[in-house]
Amino acid sequence: MMESSFNEERVMPDQLLPWRKVIQPHLEVYSGRYSKDKFAADLAAVMSGEAQNEYRDPYEFFRRTYLTEGLINLLVMGYNRLRGLGGNPVVQLQTNFGGGKTHSMLALYHMSDNLPLAQVAGGAALIERIGDLNARLKARRAVFVGSNSDATKPRQYPDCTVNTMWGDLAYQIGGLEAYDAVRIADQAGVSPGAETMLEILERHSPVLIIIDELIAYARNIYGNNEKLPSGSFDSVMTFMQVLTEAVKRSSRSLLLISIPDSNIEIGGEGGRSAQQMLAKIVGRVESVWKPITPYESFAIVRRRLFTEQVDEKARDAVIRAFHNIYKQNKSEFPLDASNSDYLELMRQTYPIHPELMTRLYEHWATLENFQRTRGLLSLMAAVIHQLWQSGNQDLMIMPSSVPLDDAHVRDELLGYLPDNWGPIVDSDVDGDKSKAYQIDREVQMLGNEQACRRVARAIFMASAPATQQQRGIDEKRIRLAVVQPNKSVSIFNDALHRLSNESVYLYTDGTRYWYDTRPTVNRVAEERAQMLRAEQVCEEARRRLRELRRPQGIRVHVAPRESGDVPDEQEACLIVLDPRELLVSRMTSSEGQSKVKAEVRKYYETRGDTARVHRNMLLFIAPEARAAANWESALRSYLAWQSIKNDREQLNLDAQQERQVEARLKEANETVEARMNETYSLLIVPMQRDDTVEFVAYTLKGTDDFYRRAMSVLNQDELLIRSLSSQALLNVLKQHTWGENQHWNLKQLWGHFTQYVYFPRLLNGEALLHAVRESVKEGLLGYARRVRENGKYEGLVLGSQADVQLSEEAVIVRPEVARAQLEAAQPAAASSAIPFRFGLEVPERSASSDEVHTAQPLPIVKRRYHGRVKLNPLHANAEMSSVVEEILKHFLNFSDAQVELELEISARRAEGFDESLMRDINENSRSLKFTSYGFEED
């Protein structure tokens, strides 16, 4: 067509319309329902009725399942196919599909059981894609799991016995009626015909068929010359061909089948043969295409993907604007782009730019598994769907428009390339972690146009297939692939320059650029980090923990492997937990804290195979799960760079690369140190609450090393006491120790401090001795070297400095008892008694029991007190506390006073009490040693 056929009216760039406002894709394209006969398929599993509830119950299953983009795509496609709205008839689920083959198949299995999507977790995402608030799907479901099927034994159903997988599937689809259609074939062990299966599918549609672990099933019968109920290997393979053909011809049936990729799953000659045959059967293309010219291919792609309705005036304005910049900037673009033929070519391919069509047809379509036009249709349908959904505003769909950050498009393209291209796209080309994205984000001028991502996409589309004799794409063709009439050429030139300097996989030779799979030094570090064994990482973590300077004055055990590695001693001990569990297993914070507390409990309760005695001496510094994951990554990076430095000669690094390694190694080391302190950010302290021991976690905030932060918390919150005060000691004695005792063995008391968590945690025995010395000096306690057989105290001291020792016989003595003995020995010293200030107090004028008998007695008229008070049940704790403080406490100050306290509870309820409550109350009463209790009718 001559150039004069185009509208000559000049249109300003800001008046040009994006392709989406000029032409519309077919419904099945922009809605994502476009299907091709051959679909790259993968592995999934269907759960049996004996599965756990989280898999068996649809609502619980979806509640526990994170719907990835890949899984959502599968469910929407399955929904559309079974509702007769298009979609692929046969889906093969691979091991790496959507993050889990079992979940993928189970999701579709549950969804097709009339499940209201609006009522399941994550259903909103499905409804949004489906476009129906009331979306639900009811289909006949048939499941065959090869690993659970015995080829030597028929399967029993209530009204029939089936032998083969086709008999089994037929019965599940339509019961006895459907089975009768294949009964003869089932009993003979030969495959039924495609027409028979098609009739079953159409009669009972919609039908979902799930076949899992077929390789395992076929492997068992491969080469078996005996006549098995299941039929022969060949008959099973024949049936699979029949089934796929029937499903493809049906209107509302879907086949999900798993074909493994790994040699472990395939296993042996039989598995390999079955895998190859199934891959061929499932991937079989029915249509036979005749060779076509590139221009015919362009026309077919355009016509198959877009409607005929087009705003020709707007289209012509766009392609003329493109052509004008090619003519006006001939030195920046390929010479052929300024020819009139190129203008006509743009008209034929619109809205797809000819450069994209050329790259796809000349490079991608020549790949062995691309299938030329069919591959072009499939790929471009995915591209157009994503661009339509994302609101793309490009004037034409160019190589730089291909959304490689979209999972569907990315997987479609990478499926034709070696596996090692995926990381290259993620690292350099597209996605929020790519180098191109990072540069765009850092440089606003480039980011406004997504310039680096567009240039990277263009280079990838031209160089990834690597079919051309001369590697790469010339910079002029890069500009042809990215520049639009309303954009500046210089911006993309700058983007190309920055990418060539900073990308990991981008190579250049003169004016040609290409991505390659050869690793740079950065890539070598990444690969080595991933290859490190978990134990190597853990050992480096332990080394750094052991080398960290420890706090003075307290025992520290770093990364013990077993509880037996920590001695059971009467001295405070800080245990830095081993990091292995959290470094090896990625956990949430709550999972990590549960794991840590379980580890803490092990050390707290045991020392090896024996029970730990001195439990109140243990404190723990523990890693936090999320921070541990970051530390693990940093450790891997450090070890990787260290290994590169060690292997620099073998790697043949040049001077620049060696400088880079040194810089990265220093940076990695600093990161490891910082993240180690971020990781060990939990101080775990055993504490007594009511009758249970809890492990309370304190978050260690600040920038100091974790030892400093831990010791700061221990000191500030008095979780570890270096010097116990006399008042604190008296309070402990009053609450937990004295009872009716006149004295207490000091070593036994120290044992209580080390064993029982409800006692204050002391750094060591000296902390207790200090408190005893002060208490004796102040006259609050007596101290004696031992108790004689006659009950008298030897070496008794009260109110003066004492040489307090943690000996076997040393005792502390109640002050009034000590005073009585001392005053009996020295009556004249009675007036010098020191009044008590706190703890076990007595009135200042009170005398010891000896004084009562030796001094002039005071007249005692009242010898007995009794009191009765009603307490408000709603405030019983507070009121009871007041009674103890204001009344009971005064009587308890007298060692010879006999005090009794009884509590009586009476409760009535007109409607009576239920059995559960009465059972609980009676049990609690028994546990609390009530002398009498019970419920009565009235």
Domain boundaries, the chain: 3-13+289-440+452-466, 39-282, 546-716, 726-854, 873-927
3-state DSSP call for residue 684? strand
What band does 242 get if pLDDT is binned at 50, 70 and 90? very high
Amino acid at 543: R
pLDDT at residue 261, rounded to an integer = 57
Residue-averaged pLDDT of the chain: 83
pLDDT at residue 857, rounded to an integer = 42
State the CB neighbour count (10 A cutoff) for residue 145: 18
| β pairing state of 573-576 and 555-558 | parallel
pLDDT cut 90: percent of the chain above it: 48
Please write the tens of the pLDDT for every residue from 668-680.
999 999 999 999 9
Question: Residue 835: is its pLDDT beyond 90?
Answer: no
pLDDT at residue 26, rounded to an integer = 84
Span 483-502, average pLDDT: 88
pLDDT at residue 915, rounded to an integer = 78
3-state DSSP call for residue 688? strand
Span 559-565, average pLDDT: 92
Span 547-576, average pLDDT: 93
| β pairing state of 692-699 and 782-784 | unpaired
Cα gap 151→155, rounded to integer Å: 10
Task: Kindly state the tokens that stand for 538.
Answer: 């853990």
The CA distances from residue 97 to 21, 35, 386, in Å, are: 35, 18, 19
pLDDT at residue 297, rounded to an integer = 65
pLDDT at residue 233, rounded to an integer = 86
Question: Residue 59: is its pLDDT beyond 70?
Answer: yes
Q: 771-802 as b/e, with b when 16 or more CB fall inside 10 Å?
A: bbbbbbbbbbbbbbbebeeeeebeebbbbeeb
Q: Which residues are within 8 A (CB) of 780 and not within 5 positions of it... i.e. 6 or more apart?
A: 726, 730, 815, 836, 837, 838, 839, 840
Question: Residue 484: is its pLDDT beyond 70?
Answer: yes
CB distance 378 to 372 below 8 Å: no
Question: Residue 839: is its pLDDT beyond 50?
Answer: no
CB distance 900 to 865 below 8 Å: no
The tally of CA atoms less than 13 A away on the side-chain side of residue 80 is: 23
What band does 818 get if pLDDT is binned at 50, 70 and 90? very high
3-state DSSP call for residue 90? strand
Long-range CB pairs of 411-416, under 8 A, 24+ apart, other chains included: 411/70, 412/378, 412/379, 412/382, 413/364, 413/379, 413/464, 415/40, 415/369, 416/364, 416/367, 416/369, 416/370, 416/375, 416/465
Question: Residue 292: is its pLDDT beyond 60?
Answer: no
Task: Kindly state the tokens that stand for 161.
Answer: 């016995």
| β pairing state of 155-157 and 473-474 | unpaired
Cα gap 17→311, rounded to integer Å: 10
- Who wins on pLDDT, 656 or 8? 656
Poorest-pLDDT segment among 128-137, 187-196, 338-347: 128-137
The CA distances from residue 893 to 225, 604, 813, in Å, are: 97, 37, 15
Span 456-485, average pLDDT: 88
Span 914-931, average pLDDT: 77
Cα gap 517→898, rounded to integer Å: 90
Most confident of 394-408, 453-467, 874-888: 394-408
Question: Residue 129: is its pLDDT beyond 80?
Answer: yes
The CA distances from residue 325 to 18, 321, 331, 537, in Å, are: 17, 7, 11, 56
Cα gap 129→500, rounded to integer Å: 39
Class of residue 856 by CB neighbours under 10 A (exposed 0-12, middle 13-18, buried 19+): exposed
**Strands of 530-582, DSSP E:** 555-558, 573-576
pLDDT cut 70: percent of the chain above it: 84
pLDDT at residue 162, rounded to an integer = 94
Q: Which residue has the tokens 């010098």?
A: 832
What band does 468 get if pLDDT is binned at 50, 70 and 90? low
What band does 924 get if pLDDT is binned at 50, 70 and 90? confident
**Strands of 140-293, DSSP E:** 140-145, 155-157, 160-162, 207-212, 253-258
Please write the tens of the pLDDT for every residue from 698-710.
999 988 899 999 9
CB distance 815 to 793 below 8 Å: no
Long-range CB pairs of 298-303, under 8 A, 24+ apart, other chains included: 298/348, 298/349, 298/352, 298/354, 298/357, 298/361, 299/348, 300/373, 300/377, 301/352, 301/357, 301/373, 301/376, 301/377, 301/380, 302/348, 302/349, 302/350, 302/352
Q: Which residues are within 8 A (CB) of 107 and not within 5 positions of it... i.e. 6 or more apart?
A: 61, 62, 65, 67, 71, 74, 75
pLDDT at residue 47, rounded to an integer = 56
Poorest-pLDDT segment among 221-225, 702-706, 833-837: 833-837
Q: Please give the DSSP secondary-structure letter assigned to residue 38.
A: -
Q: Which residue has the tokens 């000091």?
A: 746
pLDDT at residue 409, rounded to an integer = 92
Question: Residue 225: is its pLDDT beyond 70?
Answer: no
- Who wins on pLDDT, 361 or 632? 632
Q: Where are the alpha helices (DSSP H) in 329-434?
A: 340-349, 354-362, 372-390, 407-414, 421-424
Please write the tens of the pLDDT for every residue from 362-408.
888 777 677 666 678 888 989 999 999 999 999 999 999 999 999 88
* Sign of the dihedral defined by the CA atoms of residues 378, 382, 388, 391, in that order: negative
Span 781-808, average pLDDT: 92
Cα gap 205→593, rounded to integer Å: 51
Span 680-688, average pLDDT: 93
pLDDT at residue 856, rounded to an integer = 39
Please write the tens of the pLDDT for every residue from 772-793.
999 999 999 999 999 998 889 9
Span 645-651, average pLDDT: 90
- Who wins on pLDDT, 889 or 238? 238
Segment (H or E) for 693: strand 692-699
CB distance 572 to 763 below 8 Å: yes
pLDDT at residue 177, rounded to an integer = 93
Span 823-837, average pLDDT: 51
Question: Residue 37: is its pLDDT beyond 50?
Answer: no
